[in-house]
């Protein structure tokens, strides 16, 4: 039971921290799917 609760706590921390960390580094979905060569008319 202790391992299961530890895994749930780790999952919650990763779920909350991952978007914040990736946004700070610059790995957002918008940054990775757009480029300067895309023309929108």
- The two tokens of residue 2 are 């202790």
Q: Higher confidence at residue 27 or residue 39?
A: 27
Average pLDDT, the chain: 84
- The pLDDT value recorded for residue 32 is 67
What is the pLDDT confidence band of residue 2, given thresholds at 50, 70 and 90? Answer: very high
pLDDT digits (tens, 9 = 90+) for 6-18: 999 999 999 999 9
Q: Residue 27: phi, psi to the nearest 5?
A: -100, 55
Alpha helices in 1-41 (DSSP H): 2-25, 29-33
| Residue 22 buriedness (CB in 10 A; 0-12 / 13-18 / 19+) | middle
> Residues 22, 30: contact at Cβ < 8 Å?
no
C-alpha span between 6 and 10 (Å, rounded) = 6
The answer on pLDDT for 40 being more than 80 is no
């Amino acid at each position: 039971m202790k391992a299961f609760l530890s895994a749930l706590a780790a999952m919650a921390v990763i779920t909350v921290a991952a978007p914040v960390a990736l946004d700070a580094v610059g790995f957002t979905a918008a940054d990775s799917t757009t480029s300067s060569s895309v023309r929108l008319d």
